[in-house]
Amino acid sequence: MALRPLDNALPTITTARTKKQAKVAVSIQNQSDLAVNDENRAPMPPANGEAIIDYVSSDNLKSLPDPETKIQSLVEGLESKDWLKVCDSLNNARRFALYHSSLLLPNLEKIMLVLVKAMKNPRSALCKTSIMASSDIFKAFGDKLLEFTNSDAFDQMLLQLLLKASQDKKFVCEEADRALNKMVEFMTPLPLLHKLRAYASHANPRVRAKAAISISLCASKMGLQGMKEFGLVSLIQMAADLLNDRLPDAREAARSIVTSIYEAFTENEENEEQKQESWQDFCQSNLQAIHAQAIVKLISSW
């Protein structure tokens, strides 16, 4: 099977292993009959006629020559039934995002839906490449992901990233964690908090924990006014619920949220005693007694 990728297109088809790039070997002979590479099993052994999938970091991606012409074939490549061609096109989408984002913007919603579909794919290479692409799209577009696309497209991508970050498969989990961190880094906290709040009560405890971590990172970037716009009471109630979560990651994130709220809430209070008193009044007025007591104790134990 021969592929004709774009100039410098990625992933690279090669038989050499370099020190700087991680690779997964996937046979290109009788693809439909082969078992899928799985992160919980040893990689398939090398053999003649293999394609090597390179996972290239964003820093090592290069701009595309003649991007105005190549954007025309990008969507076609993303919709291919050949998963190797989809991987190749996803990496070209990364390059468009980083270097030619204005050309990608009209197709951004389609790209996001392709990412969602690829994240659901059991093939390791396709799943990881799509997650890496989401990181670059967060970096390139930030809040434009909410301004120029259907809200449902973003919601689907966020859910898949939280699910992938919640897996036992370290190969996928770590990449999804990086993508979620990029999301928080390059998007405004307030609209992102509105998207994340539903997952703080998700039935899957691991999804709750991953959502709680992203929420805590958002809260750390907000001042009191932003928290009030979101709903200061809603935020402290969310943190109080997470303080009692079964997973330690969720509880730790909840403590971070409480700390951010306390620092913003008491920022203009100079007297330490006044800080504690106003904080206690706020907690007791808006939380169940047992939750208020736990949060007041948390802050006083600093």
The SS3 assignment for 54 reads strand
CB 50 within 8 A of CB 26: yes
Q: For residue 168, what pLDDT is reported?
A: 87
Q: What are phi and psi of 80, to 5 degrees?
A: -65, 150
What is the share, in percent, of the chain residues with pLDDT greater than 70?
Answer: 82
pTM over 0.85? The answer is no
Residue-averaged pLDDT of the chain: 85
Give the residue carrying structure tokens 């970037």: 221
Q: How far apart are CA 94 and CA 110, in angstroms?
A: 14
Percent of the chain scored above 90 by pLDDT?
Answer: 72
Beta bridge partners of 27: 50
- Rounded to whole angstroms, the Cα distance separating 188 from 190 reads 6
Asked, for residue 55, whether it belongs to a domain, the answer is: no
In this structure, the chain runs to a length of 302
Please name which of 111, 151, 152, 155 lies closest in space to residue 134, comparing C-alpha atoms: 111
pLDDT in tens, 263-298: 999 998 888 888 999 999 999 999 999 999 999 999
* Residue type present at position 158: L
> 290 is in which domain, residue-wise?
214-302
Q: Is the distance from CB of 120 to CB of 159 less than 8 angstroms?
A: no
**Per-residue pLDDT at 29 exceeds 70:** no
Q: Does 297 fall in a domain?
A: yes
The partner residues of 53 in beta bridges, in order of sequence, read 24
In a domain, 140, yes or no: no
* Residue 234 and residue 204 in contact, taking contact as beta carbons nearer than 8 Å: no
d(C-alpha 114, C-alpha 79), whole Å: 8
What residue ranges in 96-239 does DSSP mark as E strands? none
Instruction: Give how far Cα 229 sits from Cα of 50, 96, 225, Å.
Output: 54, 35, 6
Sequential DSSP letters for 260-277: HHHHHHTTT--SHHHHHH
Counting other chains too, the contacts that 37-45 makes at CB distance below 8 Å and 24 or more residues apart are 37/123, 37/124, 37/125, 38/122, 38/124, 39/124, 39/169, 39/170, 39/171, 39/172, 40/168, 40/169
Whether the per-residue pLDDT at 27 is higher than 50: the answer is: no
For residues 4-13, average pLDDT? 43
Sorting pLDDT into bands at 50, 70 and 90, what band is 148? Answer: confident
Q: Burial of 249 by CB count in 10 Å (0-12 exposed, 13-18 middle, 19+ buried)?
A: middle
Structure tokens at 281: 């009044």
Number of domains present in the structure of the chain: 1
Can you give the pLDDT at residue 5? 45
In a domain, 253, yes or no: yes
| 87 domain-assigned | no
Residue 47 inside a domain? The answer is no
263: left (phi over 0), alpha (psi -120 to 50) or beta: alpha
**Is the residue at 290 inside a domain?**
yes
Map tokens 């693809």 to a residue.
31
Task: Give a yes or no: residue 186 inside a domain.
Answer: no
